[in-house]
């Protein structure tokens, strides 16, 4: 099994079970989207919820607004770029292997961001072809998540 560079640790990646979720989240709480510390807390908890092993994290608050951040997990990563003034977050959750549950992590983040709408693309990555090349498959859907900001809907 491959290891992370220099660490000697196994990173638990199994290319046959690689899923990449690309999420456009709208109608999010601007207070949350502008708070790098809060987003870090949300992502660390999302990693737990999604059964991922956290290795490192970094978040940066832009001036006057917006946050970019990433949590590196043994299974791959969770990342975000936010535009609080628009209530929009570009979310990315990528995992390899059978241990993690990226869908649960995505759902938890969307709930904590108080997103009203999400456009989700699930990309099955690392599909090996007969000629030793790789491809991917994409499934996309949209969800209305909240009505009137009260969590029902």
Residues labelled as active-site residues: 76, 81, 96
Question: From CA 150, how far away is CA 45, in angstroms rounded?
Answer: 22
């Amino acid at each position: 099994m491959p290891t992370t560079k220099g660490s000697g640790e196994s990173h638990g990646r199994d290319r046959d079970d690689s899923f990449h979720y690309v999420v456009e989240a709208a109608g999010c709480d601007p207070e949350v989207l502008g708070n790098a510390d809060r987003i870090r807390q949300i992502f660390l908890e999302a990693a737990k919820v999604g059964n991922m092993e956290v290795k490192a994290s970094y978040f940066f608050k832009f001036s006057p607004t917006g946050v970019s951040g990433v949590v590196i997990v043994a299974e791959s990563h969770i990342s975000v770029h936010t535009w609080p003034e628009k209530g929009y977050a570009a979310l990315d959750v990528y995992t390899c292997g059978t241990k993690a549950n990226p869908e649960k992590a995505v759902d938890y983040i969307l709930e904590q961001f108080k997103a009203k709408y999400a456009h989700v693309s699930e990309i099955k990555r690392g599909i090996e072809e007969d000629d030793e090349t790789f491809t991917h498959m994409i499934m996309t859907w949209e969800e209305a998540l909240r009505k009137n900001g009260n969590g029902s809907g």
